[in-house]
Amino acid sequence: MEYSTRFKKTISIILMDRIIMHVDLDSFYASLEEKRTPGIRDKPVVVCIYSGRAEDSGAVSTANYKARGLGIKAGMPIKQAKRLAEGTDRVFLPADKEHYSDVSDRIMDLLEDYSNTLEQVSIDEAYLDVTEKTGGNWVRAEETAEEIKEGIKGGEGLTCSVGVGPNKFVAKMASKHKKPDGLTVVRIEEVKAFLENIPVIELHGLGPKTADALYELGIETAGELAAFDLVRLEEEFGRNRARFLHNISHGIDDSQVEHREKQQIGRIGTLKEDTSEPEVVFEKIKELSGDLGNRVMGEGVRFRTVSLIFVDTTLKTHSKSETISETDDIEIVLRVAGKLLKEFLEENWGTRLRRVGLRVSNLSRGREQKTLTEF
DNA sequence: CGACGTGTAAC
DNA sequence: CCTTTTACACGTCG
């Protein structure tokens, strides 16, 4: 093949119109609990993460739609959720992550059959590049989405919301558009109208900080953001962030759907009471390290960086990390953690801790790395 | 450039 | 009153 032709072909593969799907399982944890305990289906169901610090301390992980109707939302303190649910026949349950994880794995396996590349973003969400499987045909893509919904319904008895679009961002926004049990297809020529009136805070990847900054500039919707001068945006947010904002407001997103390897594994926990006692904190770290060790083993990874995460009484987060030579030994993690804890406590005299976490990163998989001398 | 610490965001 | 886990960008320092 002539060089220039090959070049064009490469370009065309990269820039070819794609059809991307985003699948989002509806109030996943709560739906699984509804399945497990028949009879709670039409009650408010609230799945919680209890911190163990006091009765009802902790936060809401997932609320079913009945509970959402009462104003209960993920992230909310359990106490507050209980107040909102007062007088109703409501169900509060602790999260059973292991079970949810098993079901998630089965669903991801099912999704794998519908695309060449599956990108799992979280326990209940994934992107699929269905360009090849559908031959770039949007009608077939919509049929595929319906097939997936039926498959998950038939296999696991769960509903999901699916978005189909020309890229990951639009697909994600589309899946958000109608839920639960939704299916939204946004073709390239429909992107502009679809995004135009969406408030900026609802744009994926744009959080409260950025939204506030945009309101200051008089920008409230994606359409207004799209029309805003890019140079002014760059002055405000810097080159990269401005580019990102500009692009998503126009529904532009060239990022590929790709299988992602985990890059870090961590565990964090809440202390029984606020403390700056090294012994108490280290006990918690030991507890966390057991769990972490199991997960590191399960993933079959080795790591180079060990981090401690500290949340003080004001809820400010600090971290301390050290990079060492590659290992998979959790005893070494504990040794490094002890050292980092000592350093932190010396550098932050009198800081009382509420929560503490342990994390390993700089992961590598597969065979044990040969040292230079063995080479 | 790698290591380290913080902030933002999503779940 | 305030959970968990992960990703990524960015500034800083040596």
DSSP string covering A80-131: HHHHHTTTS--EEEE--HHHHHHHHHHHHHHHHTT-SEEEEEETTEEEEE-T
**Sole residue written with tokens 């079913």:** A64
- A180 preceded by a cis bond (ω within 30 of 0): yes
pTM over 0.75: yes
**A274: phi then psi, degrees, rounded to nearest 5:** -60, 135
**Does the structure show a pLDDT above 60 at A82?**
yes
From the CA of A213 to the C1' of B6: give the distance in Å.
19
| Cα→Cα distances A62→A31, A205, A246, A268, Å | 9, 20, 32, 19
Alpha-carbon distance A276 to A363, whole Å? Answer: 31
Alpha-carbon distance A365 to A289, whole Å? Answer: 20
Alpha-carbon distance A299 to A208, whole Å? Answer: 34
From the CA of A273 to the C1' of C12: give the distance in Å.
34
Give A300-331 pLDDT, tens digit per residue. 999 999 999 999 999 999 999 999 999 999 99
Q: Is the distance between the Cβ of A206 and the closest atom of strand B smaller than 7 Å? A: yes
- The candidate with the shortest Cα–Cα distance to A63, out of A89, A28, A98, is A28
Q: Is the distance between the Cβ of A264 and the closest atom of strand B smaller than 7 Å? A: no
Q: Is the distance between the Cβ of A18 and the closest atom of strand B smaller than 7 Å? A: no
DSSP bridge pairs for A268: A357
- The pLDDT of residue A46 is 95
- The pLDDT of residue A366 is 75
Query: In terms of C-beta distances under 8 Å and separation of at least 24 residues, what long-range contacts does A75-82 make, across chains too?
Result: A78/A46, A78/A48, A78/A50, A81/A46, A81/A48, A82/A56
Q: Is the distance between the Cβ of A177 and the closest atom of strand B smaller than 7 Å? A: no
Q: Indicate the range of A5-19, A39-53, A115-129, A136-150 predicted with least confidence.
A: A5-19
Alpha-carbon distance A122 to A24, whole Å? Answer: 10
Alpha-carbon distance A115 to A80, whole Å? Answer: 42
From the CA of A304 to the C1' of C12: give the distance in Å.
22
How confident is the model over A137-150, as a mean pLDDT? 97
Nucleotides of B under 7 A from a protein CB: 2-11
Give A41-50 pLDDT, tens digit per residue. 999 999 999 9
Give A335-354 pLDDT, tens digit per residue. 999 999 999 999 999 899 99
- The pLDDT of residue A96 is 93
Q: Indicate the range of A22-26, A84-88, A187-191 predicted with least confidence.
A: A84-88
Q: Which amino acid is at A365?
A: R
Q: Is the distance between the Cβ of A87 and the closest atom of strand B smaller than 7 Å? A: no
From the CA of A10 to the C1' of C12: give the distance in Å.
39
Q: Is the distance between the Cβ of A210 and the closest atom of strand B smaller than 7 Å? A: yes
Nearest nucleotide to the CA of A355, by C1', is C3
Other CB atoms within a 10 A radius of the CB of residue A131 amount to 21
A308 Cβ contact list (under 8 Å, min separation 6): A285, A319, A320, A321, A337, A340, A341, A344, A356, A357, A358, A359
Across chain A, mean pLDDT equals 91
**What stretch of H or E contains A165?**
strand A160-165
> A20 by DSSP, 3-state: which?
strand
**Sole residue written with tokens 């077939």:** A140
Q: Is the distance between the Cβ of A320 and the closest atom of strand B smaller than 7 Å? A: yes
- The pLDDT of residue A374 is 45
Alpha-carbon distance A274 to A254, whole Å? Answer: 46
Q: Is the distance between the Cβ of A79 and the closest atom of strand B smaller than 7 Å? A: no
**Does the structure show a pLDDT above 70 at A60?**
yes
Nucleotides of C under 7 A from a protein CB: 1-11
- The pLDDT of residue A8 is 47
In degrees, rounded to 5, the angle at the alpha carbon of residue A95 between the alpha carbons of residues A156 and A106 is 25
- The pLDDT of residue A13 is 54
Instruction: Considering only CA atoms, name the residue closest to the C1' of nucleotide B11.
Output: A122
Q: Is the distance between the Cβ of A236 and the closest atom of strand B smaller than 7 Å? A: no
- The pLDDT of residue A375 is 41
Given pLDDT bands bounded at 50, 70 and 90, which one contains residue A368?
low
- The candidate with the shortest Cα–Cα distance to A99, out of A26, A46, A157, A32, is A32
From the CA of A83 to the C1' of C7: give the distance in Å.
34
Give the catalytic positions of A in this structure.
125
Nearest nucleotide to the CA of A122, by C1', is B11
**Does the structure show a pLDDT above 50 at A372?**
no
**Residues lining strand C, beta carbon within 7 angstroms:** A 49, 51, 53-54, 56-59, 61, 74-75, 77-79, 238-241, 260, 262-270, 295, 315, 354-355, 357, 359
CB A22 within 8 A of CB A154: no
Strands (E), A288-348: 301-312, 317-327
- The pLDDT of residue A5 is 47
CB A285 within 8 A of CB A334: yes
> A345 by DSSP, 3-state: which?
helix
